[in-house]
Amino acid sequence: MQITEISFKSADGSFAKEGVDVDLRSLSDEEFNRIENEFNETGVLVFRSQSLTPQNLIELSKRFGEVEKHLRQEFSLEGFNEIHVLSNIKQGERTIGSAYAGDAWHADLCFKKAPSRMSILYSLEIPHDEIGKPLGDTLFASAADAYDRLSDSQKNRIADLRGIMQYNRRQEIKRQERAKDHPRPPLTEEQKAKTPDITQPVVRLHPLSKRKCIYVNETYTFGIEGMPEEDAKTLLDELQNEVIVPDRIYRHKWKVGDVIMWDNCLTQHKAIGDYKLPQRRKLLRTSISGTPVE
Ligand SMILES: [Fe+2]
């Protein structure tokens, strides 16, 4: 058997892993399999110093599965409706991407019956402070490790509960918060109809590894089915705090050319919005389809 040269090291001493000397444009099948296996175990992989065209990013993404088109097509990269732009950059009055997206803990597309398997993010412009320190870090936490750390009584309590996921409600809250600096239109009735409120299990089985993961988050989960609102809020806060234990978080300090891929069941993430124009940020994101939640 041929020995693959791709290796990984812990990213900053955390659960996340960083690929060493990998060029994501030219992976053999064997190298890709090595990466995918590591990804399915770890949930967050980092690759530095990449040089991808939009087409390269799509081709890489397609090796993991079907690439989804984002609900908000107004933030697609021109000519590439599978690529979602995250940016605070303005062209005239228009912001070219989704600005300050994901600034609270969440898993991407958890409000869909078949949430995305994973997301891939590639950085083109990263803001810095006056002494050159990068801004706009992204934080990652393992929702699988968090479940494992729960006590037996906590596990029993949440075993059969379902969280209420409300994308449209969160979008309207964000729209009002950002109306002054980055105005955006409300979701249309047609857009809203694509993302009705749904429930998801509080404890989700990872579709491949079958690991149990905490699958509620402070962004999209507004309640627990059948539970009084105040009790649900207390429980949701408790579970969120189990996920985001500070010394277990991976904090990614971005450089131009970084690629991060993350599993949306095994992990949660959050973007830090500690920059503003003229500090510019621009990243490209793809989402890969997943299977319906079991
Ligand atoms: Fe996100």
Q: How far is the CA of 106 from the centre of ligand 1 (A)?
A: 6
Instruction: Give the distance (Å) from ligand 1 centre to CA of residue 86.
Output: 10
Look at residue 193 and tell me whether its pLDDT is greater than 80.
yes
Question: What is the 255 CA–ligand 1 centroid distance (Å)?
Answer: 18
Residue 190 Cα to ligand 1 middle (Å): 23
pLDDT attached to residue 265: 96
Global pTM? 0.92
CA of 268 to the centre of ligand 1 (A): 8
Tens digits of per-residue pLDDT, 216-274?
999 999 999 999 999 999 999 999 999 999 999 999 999 999 999 999 999 999 999 99
Map residue 268 onto helix, strand or coil.
Answer: strand
160: which residues sit within 8 A by CB, 6+ positions away?
A: none
Cβ of 8: how many Cβ atoms within 10 Å? 19
Annotated domain spans of the chain: 7-288
Question: How far is the centre of ligand 1, averaged over its atoms, from the C-alpha of 285 (Å)?
Answer: 9
Of 89, 133, 84, 175, give the one whose Cα is nearest residue 274.
133
CA 283 to ligand 1 centroid distance, Å: 12
- Per-residue pLDDT tens digits for 65-121: 999 987 677 889 989 999 999 999 998 888 888 887 788 999 988 999 999 999 999
Residue 294: what pLDDT?
Answer: 77
65 exposure class (CB count in 10 Å sphere: 0-12, 13-18, 19+):
middle
Q: Which helix (H) or strand (E) holds 121?
A: strand 118-125
Class of domain 7-288: alpha beta
pLDDT of 134 reads 96
Task: Tell me the residues surrounding ligand 1 (ion) with CB < 5 Å.
Answer: 102, 108
